[in-house]
A and B are shown apart, each in its own frame.
Chain A
Amino acid sequence: MSDEHIVKSYDEELQHLNDSLVQMGSLTEKLLYDSMNAITTVDKDAVSKIVESDAKINKFRSSIDQHIMTILVKRSPVAIDLRYAISTLKISQDLERIGDLAKGNAKKILPLPDDLPPEMLKRIESLGEMVQKQLKSTLDCFIEKSVQKSLDTIKSDEQVNDLATASIKEVLEFLSKDKKNLDFATNLLFVCKNLERAGDHLSRICQNVHYLIEGDYPQK
């Protein structure tokens, strides 16, 4: 943000908000990584830790809520400060949802069937990696307050959608070959869909970063 406020504690409050959101973001990054890792390595023991991290992310969200309310009450923010308060409120909601989706995925761990084509798993792995990459650039665009980066990140969500669609198609083909894989394949469909949704939340975050900086949402 530009210059400092006359009231120093106001700057500190905004800085604290910024830091909390960045911390929340890196926890979400870790959670998403752990969740994908647990699925592909069939690591059921990781689930309880993942549930814990998700709870921590939820706590961040509610403390950010409280903090923003305090700022609204104490400072009656306007212009950039108002947009900052509103957009961080929304961004923290989207991060929380991404945490929920990653946790939901981890809870769906099932042993890999013997006849699972390795490319299929690979593709879902790369879908996960792609969403992780999107999350990283989303957090960067918030940290750097970069309009260009937010536009680029929104644009590359299309690739997430394409890969998710391709993966879903592949899982359905796999399922149609042998109905005994119904449970596994259904879970995998959820995983793909959740990753795609996580991508949508990331785009929304980028839109809110754009709003924060420019005062409007990017043109479709």
Chain B
Amino acid sequence: MELENKRESKVISKNIDVFYGDKQALFGIDLEIYKNEVTALIGPSGCGKSTFLRCINRMNDVIDICKITGEIEIDNFNIYKPDVDVVRLREKVGMVFQKPNPFPKSIYDNIAYGPSIHGIAKDKNEMDHIVETSLQKAALWNEVKDRLHEPGTGLSGGQQQRLCIARAISINPEIILMDEPCSALDPIATAKIEELIDSLKRSFTIVIVTHSMSQAARVSQRTGFFHLGKLIEMGETEKIFKNPNNTMTQDYITGRFG
């Protein structure tokens, strides 16, 4: 367990409100995400977890009816300032979704796509290197190194998800957002992703939305509980699952929510 005072803030959310048209989805979210840690967001369906996650890389910008107020600071810099380069931001904050969504391209091209549009690799050699290290970091290299030019969609679900993680890693992000990355996977594939998440936190800051309480307990250092668009409680994962402060948190995680 790292000590509180050694922790460094990576993301700070300050009074974030989100509206979809007239409907408010998030209410004054204040929270802090620490560098090189895994933060889990839990809560009942529709409570705003994905909405909050999308605030961190401004993915909500692409939803026309979505309005956001408040600030999100990454490394003490407000990403909602008018002049922010959103493409640069998304380079810094990668995302992995619930359903593995490889491009209909080869395994190699799935990884190479990002670095090439962001102009990260100088030449073929460098690109090969990025592809290899990304797949290695995503614990997929050994399984695919002999079939790099086969389609990514031909992999198993768990492999596809690791491919998507490799793709997210390939552009050297600092933060990786994961929205229920294991919900379509079997226990073995889930265990591999969880193992991977644990090793990735050395290089990245990870925020994961999950419906599995035991997954949140296993992979994260801190957990935030959302309910009806509000952050009800945020704290050390161990504390949340052993002795939460809030009865709503307790009711939800113990399965007492009506």
Contact = CB atoms under 8 A, between A and B. Distances in A.
A79 B244 contact: yes
Given A76-B213, A79-B250, A2 B242 contact: no
A206 to B, nearest CB: 18
A79 B257 contact: no
Interface in A49-79: 75-79
A3 interface: yes
A82 B257 contact: no
Interface in A1-29: 2-7, 10
Interface in B224-258: 240-244, 247, 249-251, 253-258
B242 A6 contact: no
A7 B242 CA distance: 20
Nearest to A77: B254
Contact of A3 (B242, B249, B251): B251
A43 B243 CA distance: 49
A159 to B, nearest CB: 32
B217 A78 contact: yes
Contacts of A82: 241-242
B76 interface: no
Contacts of A140: none
Interface residues of B, number: 18
Contact of A78 (B213, B247, B257, B258): B213
B5 interface: no
A215 B250 CA distance: 12
A1 B167 CA distance: 47
A77 B254 CA distance: 7
Most buried by B among A5, A79, A80, A214: A79
A86 B179 CA distance: 33
A83 interface: yes
A6 B255 CA distance: 6
A80 B245 CA distance: 11
A6 B247 contact: no
Q: How large is the interface on A (under 10, 10 to 19, 20 to 34, 35 or more residues)?
A: 10 to 19
A31 to B, nearest CB: 34
Contact of B256 (A6, A83, A214, A215): A6
A81 interface: yes
Given A215-B242, A215-B243, A80 B254 contact: yes
A174 B247 CA distance: 58
Given A2-B250, A79-B240, A79-B244, 10 more contacts: A2-B256, A5-B256, A78-B213, A79-B249, A79-B250, A79-B253, A80-B250, A80-B254, A81-B254, A83-B242
A78 B256 contact: no
5 contacts: A2-B256, A3-B258, A5-B256, A78-B217, A83-B242
A10 B255 CA distance: 9
B241 A78 contact: yes
Contacts of B251: 2-3
B241 A4 contact: no
Contact of B254 (A5, A214, A216): A5
Interface string B88-123: 000000000000000000000000000000000000
Nearest to A84: B254
Nearest to B245: A215
Nearest to B243: A215
Given A2-B251, A3-B251, A215-B242, A76 B214 contact: yes
Nearest to A216: B243
A45 B217 CA distance: 55
Counting from the closest, the 6 A-B pairs by CB-CB distance are A215-B243, A78-B241, A79-B250, A3-B256, A78-B253, A81-B254
B256 to A, nearest CB: 5
A10 B257 CA distance: 14
